[in-house]
């Protein structure tokens, strides 16, 4: 700091680092994989296998899947099955835009 307690220009230009919860990180990772084609349309999302692959418990995966179902990036089927839905280009772009910060 300079005299008088004023912050330097450098200090004023630094933004605080945002903290991210584990749930948010899992959500972001799954969303990125879906939107980049990492999962093909019709692919069933197996919670246990996703949790193992991401090295997390089931709860963050359940939370992320719930958020992605609300966004329509995933689709809930009977018997709690979850799949990657087939999407039109317009649906894909709408979902992609909604997730852009």
Contact 37, 77 (CB under 8 A): no
- Residue 59 Cα to chain centre, angstroms: 14
pLDDT in tens, 73-97: 999 999 989 999 998 888 888 887 7
Task: Say if residues 57 and 47 touch (Cβ distance below 8 Å).
Answer: no
Residue written as token pair 């087939």? 86
Predicted confidence (pLDDT) per residue in 33-67, tens digit? 998 889 999 999 999 999 999 999 999 999 999 99
How far CA 70 is from CA of 10, 82, 94, in Å, comes to: 41, 12, 13
- Look at the block and give the residue holding tokens 């995933």: 74
Is pTM beyond 0.95? Reply is: no
Q: Which fold has domain 23-98?
A: Arc Repressor Mutant, subunit A (1.10.10)
């Amino acid at each position: 700091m300079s005299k008088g307690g004023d912050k330097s220009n450098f200090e004023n230009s630094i933004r605080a680092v945002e903290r991210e919860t584990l749930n948010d990180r899992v959500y972001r990772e799954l969303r990125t994989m879906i939107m980049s084609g990492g999962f093909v349309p019709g692919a069933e999302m197996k919670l246990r296998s996703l949790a193992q692959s991401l090295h997390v418990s089931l709860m963050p995966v359940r939370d992320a899947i719930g958020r992605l179902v609300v966004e329509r990036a995933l689709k809930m089927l009977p018997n709690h099955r979850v799949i990657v839905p087939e999407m039109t280009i317009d649906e894909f772009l709408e979902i992609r835009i909604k997730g852009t910060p």
